[in-house]
């Protein structure tokens, strides 16, 4: 019995030892496997990070090649320095974690400290221009749009503003534009650098700079004149078809009716791009609308309509047909044109648009609404179509300018009762005396062309339709009927007393 017990005990002990050994081995193996998996995951994350950078590593500059993935956390932390505690945590969560928390918290990445451990401390490493540019590239790839962080990055960049090349300026401006971030002081500095240094740049970069400056509301007439005189005029034959259409688009948006430059652009289009000008309907439509808005080069406009639009309507998207119909309306109202082809194109397009009314967006409905009133004034039976459009509840974004507020206040003081933002036909009137059918429009500087001081075609079309709707107008020496207006240039520098006299002379006298 004793021998049997001892044997049993020994057997149990051996079994337990073997089990423990096996368990330990299994645990160690599992741990090793987990460690290996974690390492592989981290490595894969690193590879993912680099393979999806916006610019290939092979195209990076020599200095940028020295900025490895291990220094990226330092750059992020340097960017975060100066942010408040709460914003820094938010920045860490929304930006850092999008790459890989396992990588960025790794001791090998942050010299033995995790991101959380050092994000509130000053980092000794200074941010260089190359590092900031590198960081901006990677902010874009994850579409990071936190305004306070982007503002902080732009402030860091200002330190190196005089070191920026034209490629740096292009990259930063285009990236911030994509992220819907505007920093007027920074963009003005960019333009000053270009105007002072006059760096050489290819036509694609030049055109994109103009587009991005326009989108961020950072372009003005002086800048546009500089770019036109120094870069555009002497290089027109180097631009692509798309870029030439975009230059016309920019000119249109700023009422920049430089007839000589536009004439030269049209010559280049005629000589180089006519065989392919209709391949991109968006480009063709942009050219047509821009020429109409600028009221220039009708000959080319008509030729494009006749050759590429007439009887080819099915090739155009709805939004392009809306723009083309509006462009024809501008020519007809401004220049009293009566051409059979234009009239036929206009009526056919409007008919197509009305049959696809459910597809029209708000801005497109506005355009069709205006065109229908023009056709009605030309004798077409459009009332049912107008009623159909007006049932769509077109939304008008009302913005009240400072001068409009001043005028309204003085109107009350002098006892003139005028309604503000009154809907009449397809338009909203700045002020209206409804009983007398008198409209009073405030003409800001954007109502006029840059050269010659004439009112632009968009405003001319509005006044033409209002006149046809029997709203009271006054006549000038030219016998041309226009709506009663308050001119921005006559108003802006006057004292209050002079403004009252101006209204009494130009408004009260006219409405008696």
419 inside domain: yes
- Domain range spanning residue 464? 402-511
Band (65; pLDDT cuts 50, 70, 90): very low
Q: With bands split at pLDDT 50, 70 and 90, how would you rate the model's confidence at 323?
A: very high
Three state DSSP letters for 14-34: HHHHHHHHHHHHHHHHHHHHH
Distances (CA, A) of 161 to 63, 177, 206, 304: 18, 18, 19, 45
Span 68-79, pLDDT tens digits: 444 555 555 555
What confidence score (pLDDT) does residue 512 get? 64
Please say if the pLDDT value at position 80 is more than 70.
no
Whether 228 maps to a domain, the answer reads no
Report residue 376 as tokens. 């009605």
Write the DSSP assignment of 169-220 as a string of letters. Answer: HHHHHHHHHHTT---HHHHHHHHHHHHHH-----HHHHHHHHHHHHHTT---
Domain finish residue from 337, 372, 395: 395
3-state helix, strand, coil in the chain (%, to 5): 70, 5, 25
Strand 473-475 versus strand 419-424 pairing type: unpaired
CB of 382 within 8 A of CB of 376? Answer: yes
Shared domain for 463 and 352, answered yes or no, is no
Does residue 476 share a domain with residue 379?
Answer: no
For residue 446, being part of any structural domain is answered with yes
Domain boundary among 355, 377, 395: 395
The answer on 386 and 419 residing in a single domain is no
> Do 374 and 433 sit in the same domain of this protein?
no
pLDDT digits (tens, 9 = 90+) for 445-477: 888 999 998 999 999 999 899 988 988 654 343
Distance of CA 165 to the CA centre of its chain: 24
What percentage of the chain carries pLDDT values higher than 70? 72
**153 and 50 housed in the same domain:** yes
Among 135, 159, 183, the domain-final residue is: 159
409 part of a folded domain: yes
Tokens linked to 184: 């007027």
Is residue 278 domain-resident?
no
**Do the domain assignments include residue 255?**
no
For residue range 94-141, list pLDDT tens digits in order.
555 444 444 334 444 434 444 344 333 434 356 788 889 988 988 888
Are the CB atoms for 331 and 337 separated by under 8 Å? yes
480 and 374 fall within a common domain: no
Please identify which residue in the block is written with the tokens 């590879």.
47
CATH of the domain at 425: 3.40.960.10
Residue 170 within a domain: no
Segment 232-244, tens digit of pLDDT: 999 999 999 999 9
| DSSP 3-state of 482 | strand
Q: What is the pTM of this model?
A: 0.76
Do residues 356 and 431 share a domain? no
Neighbours of 459 (CB within 10 A): 19
């Amino acid at each position: 019995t004793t021998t049997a017990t001892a044997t049993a005990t020994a057997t149990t002990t051996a079994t337990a030892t073997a089990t423990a050994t096996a368990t330990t081995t299994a645990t160690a193996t599992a741990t090793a496997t987990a460690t290996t998996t974690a390492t592989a995951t981290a490595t894969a994350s690193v590879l993912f990070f680099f393979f999806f950078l916006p610019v290939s590593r092979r195209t990076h500059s020599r200095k940028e090649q020295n900025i490895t993935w291990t220094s990226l956390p330092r750059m992020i932390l340097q960017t975060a320095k100066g942010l408040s505690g709460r914003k820094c945590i938010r920045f860490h969560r929304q930006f850092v974690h999008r790459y890989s928390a396992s990588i960025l918290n790794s001791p090998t990445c942050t010299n033995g400290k995790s991101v959380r451990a050092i994000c509130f401390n000053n980092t000794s490493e200074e941010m260089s221009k190359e590092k900031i540019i590198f960081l901006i590239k990677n902010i874009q790839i994850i579409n990071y749009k936190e305004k306070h962080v982007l503002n902080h990055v732009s402030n860091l960049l200002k330190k190196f503003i005089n070191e920026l090349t034209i490629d740096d300026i292009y990259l930063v401006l285009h990236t911030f534009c994509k992220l819907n971030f505007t920093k007027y002081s920074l963009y003005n500095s960019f333009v000053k650098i270009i105007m002072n240094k006059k760096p050489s740049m290819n036509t694609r970069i030049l055109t994109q700079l103009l587009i991005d400056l326009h989108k961020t509301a950072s372009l003005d007439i002086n800048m546009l004149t500089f770019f036109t005189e120094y870069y555009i005029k002497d290089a027109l034959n180097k631009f692509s078809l798309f870029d030439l259409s975009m230059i016309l688009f920019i000119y249109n948006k700023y009422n920049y009716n430089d007839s000589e430059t536009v004439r030269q652009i049209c010559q280049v289009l005629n000589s180089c791009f006519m065989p392919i000008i209709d391949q991109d309907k968006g480009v063709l439509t942009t050219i047509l609308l821009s020429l109409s808005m600028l009221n220039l080069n009708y000959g080319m406009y008509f030729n494009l309509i006749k050759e590429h639009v007439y009887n080819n309507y099915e090739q155009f998207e709805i939004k392009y047909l809306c723009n083309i119909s509006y462009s024809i309306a501008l020519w007809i109202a401004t220049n009293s044109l009566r051409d059979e082809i234009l009239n036929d194109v206009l009526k056919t397009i409007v008919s197509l648009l009305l049959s696809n009314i459910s597809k029209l967006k708000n801005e497109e409905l506005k355009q069709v609404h205006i065109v229908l009133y023009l056709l009605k004034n030309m004798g077409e039976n459009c009332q049912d179509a107008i009623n159909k459009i007006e049932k769509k509840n077109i939304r008008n974004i009302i913005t009240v300018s400072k001068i409009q507020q001043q005028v309204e206040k003085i109107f009350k003081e002098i006892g003139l009762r005028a309604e503000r933002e009154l809907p009449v036909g397809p338009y909203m009137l700045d002020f209206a005396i409804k009983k007398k059918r008198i409209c009073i429009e405030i003409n800001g500087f954007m109502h006029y062309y840059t050269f010659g001081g004439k009112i632009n075609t968009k405003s001319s079309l509005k006044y033409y339709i209002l006149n046809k709707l029997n709203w009271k107008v006054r006549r000038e020496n030219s016998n041309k009927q226009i709506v009663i207006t308050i001119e921005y240039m006559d108003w802006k520098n006057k004292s209050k007393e002079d403004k009252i006299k101006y209204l009494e002379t130009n408004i009260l006298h006219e409405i008696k």
